[in-house]
């Protein structure tokens, strides 16, 4: 069995999720002794519920059955992205401006391999992040992983609100 890559599955599933009125947040593929695990994270503007996840599981499973590199046993997990959701697309970086984020970089920038701060927005192909008195201009192509950072102290009364 050949290795399956998350990007290959994103290319396959993104149009389908859009057709179902959903947003494909990201896909993670993990391998182990017990087989491959494919994690598909879905969302939509007003949030996602268990019924939507259950329905999506069926059509995602059907689409994945046609992927030759997934011919062996695999486990499919479909879920919401959670409070610290991954930011993957230009639209994500525009939509979540004003929220705290953490970026893990493929190479150091300003001496940092990881940057946490408030997402200011985008400028051309750079993500603007304000943190600790500095504004970082991070080229999108050196971002290994970006996710919202929950600020559980800021919401008061345990709201879990992102600030």
Same domain, 10 and 73: yes
**Structural domain count, the chain:** 2
pLDDT bracket for residue 1 (50, 70, 90): very low
Q: Tokens standing for 111?
A: 């001496």
Q: What is the pLDDT of residues 60-109, one digit of tens each?
A: 999 998 888 886 788 999 999 988 999 999 989 999 999 999 999 999 99
Question: Residue 37 belongs to what domain range?
Answer: 6-79
Q: Cα(19)–Cα(59) distance, rounded to whole angstroms?
A: 11
Same domain, 63 and 106: no
Q: pTM for the full model?
A: 0.79
Q: What is the pLDDT of residues 137-147, one digit of tens each?
A: 999 999 999 99
Asked whether residue 96 is assigned to any structural domain, the reply reads: yes
């Amino acid at each position: 069995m050949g290795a399956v890559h998350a990007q290959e599955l994103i290319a396959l599933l993104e149009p389908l999720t859009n057709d179902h009125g959903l947003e494909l947040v990201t896909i993670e593929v993990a391998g182990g002794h017990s087989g491959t695990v494919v994690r598909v994270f879905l969302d939509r503007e007003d949030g996602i519920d268990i019924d939507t996840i259950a329905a999506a599981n069926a059509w995602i499973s059907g689409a994945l059955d046609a992927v030759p590199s997934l011919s062996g046993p695999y486990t499919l997990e479909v879920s919401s992205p959670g409070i610290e959701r991954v930011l993957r697309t230009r639209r994500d970086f525009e939509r979540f401006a004003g929220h705290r984020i953490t970026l893990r970089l493929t190479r150091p920038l300003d001496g940092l391999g990881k940057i946490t701060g408030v997402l200011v927005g985008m400028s051309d192909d750079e993500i603007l992040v304000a943190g600790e008195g500095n504004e970082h201009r991070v080229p999108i192509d050196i971002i290994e992983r970006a996710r919202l950072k929950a600020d559980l102290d800021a919401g008061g009364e345990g709201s879990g609100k992102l600030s």
